Amino acid sequence: MIAFPSPNFSDRRGGALPSLIVIHYTAMASCAEARARLCAPEHEVSAHWLVSEAGQAEALVPEALRAWHAGAGAWAGITDVNSHSIGIELANTGSQPFPEPQMAALEDLLRGIMARWQIAPQGVIGHSDMAPLRKSDPGARFDWRRLARQGLSIWPADVAAAPAEAFLPALRYFGYPEAPPEALLTAFRLRFRPTARGPLDSIDAGMACALARRFAVDDAPVPA
């Protein structure tokens, strides 16, 4: 790990501690280009970590501070996601696979962050999860199931077909923010059914209900 300090940070508001990890892709041609942007004061964007295609993890902002990576959005009722999260940028154009060295480095990084801040696997989310109207990263090529097999994220289990009308309530119980149904379906499929096409179906609803049953927001009613 090496450090390229970014000036783009502030204090976490209200004494918040990280309970989320947000995974991004840089959507830029190279890691060096992404690093330059994340460390340039005039752009006012940053992340805590940048992981290169070769698997080099670069520290940009101390984890105890508030990096400017998430922008507008929400997750599990949290609207100031920057104050409650750690942001990880993966050097990737958005149209290419994530190389094995990069994924292995990400996994090591996640293990350390989750242990340091006691972040649960359901707290590891994509930028598209918390901002479904604006973002699509880390995208359909990102292997969420691989992370889940190692306890570094989550995946629906014991899935049974469910009526389509259960889909949106289940997403809210799981943590997704308010957004138009088509935007939520797109975000959900990017993460859990990247090859699915067409209208909402009983498999989408069943997967969403399985997630809600296991990982519902505290005190929320859980669909049957």
Domain boundaries, the chain: 2-149, 164-215
Is the pLDDT reported for residue 218 higher than 70? no
With 50 as the cut, is the pLDDT of residue 222 above it? no
* 106, 125, 157 from 23: Cα distances, Å: 10, 6, 22
Say if residue 220's pLDDT is above 50.
no
Using DSSP, state whether 31 is helix, strand or coil.
Answer: helix
Residue 217's pLDDT band, with cuts at 50, 70 and 90, is: low
* d(C-alpha 101, C-alpha 145), whole Å: 17
Q: Does domain 2-149 have CATH number 3.20.20.140?
A: no
Taking each helix axis as running N to C, give the angle between helix 202-215 and helix 167-174, from 0 to 180 degrees, rounded to the nearest 10: 30
91 close to 60: Cβ distance less than 8 angstroms = no
Confidence of residue 56 (pLDDT cuts 50, 70, 90): very high
Instruction: Determine the average pLDDT of the residues in 163-174.
Output: 95
pLDDT band at 216 (very low <50, low <70, confident <90, very high): confident
Q: What is the pLDDT of residues 85-96, one digit of tens each?
A: 999 999 999 999
Active-site residue (options: 58, 63, 89, 100): 89
Average pLDDT on 161-175 reads 95
Predicted confidence (pLDDT) at residue 224 exceeds the cutoff of 60: no
Region 204-213: mean pLDDT is 95
For residue 134, pLDDT beyond 60: yes
Percentage of the chain exceeding pLDDT 70: 96
Average pLDDT over residues 80-104: 97
The pLDDT assigned to 214 comes to 87
Instruction: Please report which confidence band the pLDDT of residue 47 belongs to, taking 50, 70 and 90 as the band edges.
Output: very high
Q: In what order do the strands lie in the sheet with 124-126?
A: 2-3, 57-59, 49-51, 85-90, 20-25, 124-126
- Under the banding of pLDDT at 50, 70 and 90, the label for residue 71 is very high
Contact 154, 207 (CB under 8 A): no
Mean pLDDT score, 93-112: 97
- The model's pLDDT over 118-131, given as tens digits with 9 standing for 90+, comes to 999 999 999 999 99
- Mean pLDDT across 28-46: 96
> Is 58 one of the catalytic residues?
no
pLDDT for the residue 3: 75
Mean pLDDT of the chain: 94
